[in-house]
Amino acid sequence: MMLKKVALLTIGMLYLCLLHATAQPTQIKQVAPPFWWTDMENPNLQILVHGDNIAKFKVSVKHKGVKVKEVHRLENADYLFVDLYIDKKTQPDTLVLLFKKGKQLFTHNYELRKRKGFDGRISGLDGSDVIYLIMPDRFVNADRANDVDMRLKDRWINRDSAYYRHGGDLQGVISKLDYLQSLGITALWLNPVLINDQPGDSYHGYAATDHFEVDPRLGGMTAYLQLVEQCHARGMKIVMDVNHNHTGDQHWFIKDKPSEDWVHQHEEFTRTHYRAPTVFDPYASEADKRTLKEGWFSNHLPDLNQDNPFLANYLIQNSIWWIEHAGVDAFHLNTYAFSEDNFLEKWGEAIYNEYPQFSSFGETWVEGAPSQAYFHGKNNFKNDFKSNLAGVTDFQLYYAVTQALNEPFGWSEGISRLYYTLTKDYLYEDASQNVVFLDNHDLPRFFNSVGQDIKKYKMGMSFAMTTRGIPSLNYGTEVLLGNSTYGDSRTDFIGGWPSDTISKFSNKGRTALENEAFKYTKKLINWRKHCKVIHEGKLMQFIPEDGLYVYFRYTDNDAVMVVMNSNKFEVLLDTEKYNERLAGYNTARDVETGKLVTDLQQLRIPAMSTLILDMEEQEEAPVVSEEEEGY
């Protein structure tokens, strides 16, 4: 009996030693998510384990509050999907996953961290925000040491090419936070920061090769977490760019697919037609519907099949992982309409179940307000699809602004386009979280779109900052960055590289016209930052007449009046027509000049200009001279 007890004790000690082994065996190549948290709303976690013939192993865990519910094996023996149940009372600790095949045993330590909770970390977006969109590779190169990584396939830097990397990084973004905060920016939206280990043409970030790793040429995870932390310390938010539709063809789970239906397969290369309306077109052919959802974005960007439940879980958990790990405040969902509808619904439900204060907006590069509204989480459609999105990228207003400023006034042309576009907001329950923009990383610079006319630039900027929704500014638009060719939206911010002889970050490096645009934009954004009626107020617009478009943002106690004059001549406006909103106000403040307007019965509007009148005597933001702030 004593010998039996000793033998059992010895076996037990050997088992405990085995469980606490720290060396990762050669069988395991990837584990995703790489770690998780306790006290999540959803107690279920599915761990993807990738390794040579890993499917031949059984998996078990002995940990209080944690159990293996099921282990899934797909057609590729290099994958296991392990379903864990993690009781909400489970304490943070390291799980030891035991892999066993016959007499062969090894372990993998899996960390369960303490959930950080909200604690003001994750704020979401609202009407008080102004977003600044940055393509990190083209913004500022603050760390020359990470320009090239010899471990990766693309080892070239060439600023003379639109398709090569230029060397911008996350440390460069951090170095310009003072500039951005002075401009009045409250949220940073970075094009994807995930590693893109592709042979070339992946500077933009939309060809991810690992969903849990930040590209080392941008500074890696350390730099990204530092950026989020420093932004939050300043009261600024972070928008993460997420792409569920496709990855780079060098992604480890594309080179070694868990199953053939992990991506959409075709007998020959089939590209999506990009026509999102086929999703809801009552006359659409089944072939067109399939091509939208299943066609590849390009020949090196395979189309992920979110109808595969294991891929769907992987993507959902990846999004939750980034929110909890990095504390990002919102997502922009690229190529939103191209993913499977059922997946998009499940994704939205899972995100908001864990983070009800989080917000997401989807890219809806479509024609027509109904097409755009279909993908909004709060629309008035009687359809089965509910996206759960807080907002969408408002391409309809983008089209309308450009046309409004380039066309002569007419019944439905010119500045009337703004009016008619906004009348279609009846399609939404709430359009206040739609993201309004004048240009972005895929579009020509706004200044070029309006013929490099500074008056039109100011009119467009004033509209974007005063209409309903959340305005977004592409990096450098405030200093008229770019030239007249397509691709100017991705040009370098001049002054962000040590070799640049001038800097557009400084008033001394800008031309008189660039400084005029910068000062106007800065004043407008900082006024907006402190104007609650713009953040929270309703919108009332009046039918455009004689080249004039008038609208109000208002609450019960406050109002802002906006008059856009698209004529090439000055107009003296009789305001009696607008007494519905002007009643009770005797004076107003001209936002651009700061002057008090004491006669509201007649307003003088210069040619091709916008008059913004603040009807409330609000507390003004502290004024800092450009000499003091260095910009």
- Residue 460 CA to residue 458 CA, distance in Å, equals 5
Residue 603: predicted pLDDT: 97
Q: What is the mean pLDDT of residues 286-294?
A: 88
Residues 6+ apart with CB under 8 A from 313: 46, 81
Architecture of the domain defined by 536-614: Sandwich (2.60)
pLDDT tens figures, 529-553: 999 999 999 999 999 999 999 999 9
Give 351-415 as a 3 state SS string: HHHHCCCCEEEECCCCCCHHHHHHCCCCECCCCCCCCCCCEEECHHHHHHHHHHHHCCCCCCCCC
Report the SS3 class of residue 152. Answer: coil
Q: Is pLDDT at 485 greater than 80 in this prediction?
A: no
274 pLDDT band, cuts 50/70/90, is confident
Lowest mean pLDDT, pick from 30-44, 122-136, 262-276, 390-404: 262-276
Q: Which position has the higher pLDDT, 293 or 527?
A: 527
Distance of CA 420 to the CA centre of its chain: 28
Report the SS3 class of residue 565. Answer: strand
15 pLDDT band, cuts 50/70/90, is very low
Q: Is pLDDT at 225 greater than 90 in this prediction?
A: yes
9 pLDDT band, cuts 50/70/90, is very low
- Residue 593 CA to residue 589 CA, distance in Å, equals 8
Q: Is pLDDT at 21 greater than 60 in this prediction?
A: no
C-alpha closest to that of 371 among 245, 278, 467: 278
Fold of 22-113: Immunoglobulin-like (2.60.40)
pLDDT tens figures, 336-363: 999 999 999 999 999 999 999 999 999 9
- Residue 218 CA to residue 203 CA, distance in Å, equals 10
296 pLDDT band, cuts 50/70/90, is confident
Q: Is pLDDT at 289 greater than 80 in this prediction?
A: yes
- Residue 293 CA to residue 277 CA, distance in Å, equals 11
Q: What is the mean pLDDT of residues 153-161?
A: 92
Residue 259: predicted pLDDT: 97
What is the assigned CATH class of domain 131-275+304-496? Answer: alpha beta
Cβ count near 213 (within 10 Å): 15
- Residue 319 CA to residue 335 CA, distance in Å, equals 16
pLDDT tens figures, 490-534: 999 999 999 999 999 999 999 999 999 999 999 999 999 999 999
* 22-113 and 536-614 share one fold: yes
Q: Is pLDDT at 36 greater than 80 in this prediction?
A: yes
Residue 624: predicted pLDDT: 54
Whether 46 and 310 have beta carbons less than 8 Å apart is answered as yes
Give phi and psi for 108, each to the nearest 5.
Answer: -135, 125
Find tokens 């407008």 and name the residue. Answer: 524
Burial 489-509 (b: 16+ CB within 10 A, else e): bbbbbbbbbeebeebbbebeb
DSSP 505: T
- Residue 140 CA to residue 495 CA, distance in Å, equals 8
pTM of the model: 0.92
Whether 219 and 169 have beta carbons less than 8 Å apart is answered as yes
- Residue 541 CA to residue 573 CA, distance in Å, equals 16
User: What's the token pair of residue 456?
Assistant: 């039109």
- Residue 129 CA to residue 354 CA, distance in Å, equals 23
User: What's the token pair of residue 306?
Assistant: 């979110």
628 pLDDT band, cuts 50/70/90, is very low
4 pLDDT band, cuts 50/70/90, is very low
Extended strands (E) in 197-350: 237-243, 330-334
Determine what percent of the chain is predicted with pLDDT higher than 70: 92
Q: Is pLDDT at 601 greater than 50 in this prediction?
A: yes
Strand ranges of the sheet holding 237-243, from the earlier edge strand across to the other edge: 391-392, 359-362, 330-334, 237-243, 187-190, 131-134, 470-474, 435-437
Q: Where are the domains of the chain?
A: 22-113, 131-275+304-496, 536-614
- Residue 215 CA to residue 195 CA, distance in Å, equals 4
Q: Which position has the higher pLDDT, 502 or 161?
A: 502
Whether 522 and 478 have beta carbons less than 8 Å apart is answered as yes
Whether 130 and 76 have beta carbons less than 8 Å apart is answered as no
Average pLDDT taken over every residue of the chain: 92
C-alpha closest to that of 57 among 81, 38, 33, 37: 81
Give phi and psi for 427, each to the nearest 5.
Answer: -70, -20
- Residue 460 CA to residue 334 CA, distance in Å, equals 25
- Residue 212 CA to residue 315 CA, distance in Å, equals 11
Residue 10: predicted pLDDT: 42
Q: What is the mean pLDDT of residues 176-189?
A: 98
- Residue 169 CA to residue 217 CA, distance in Å, equals 7
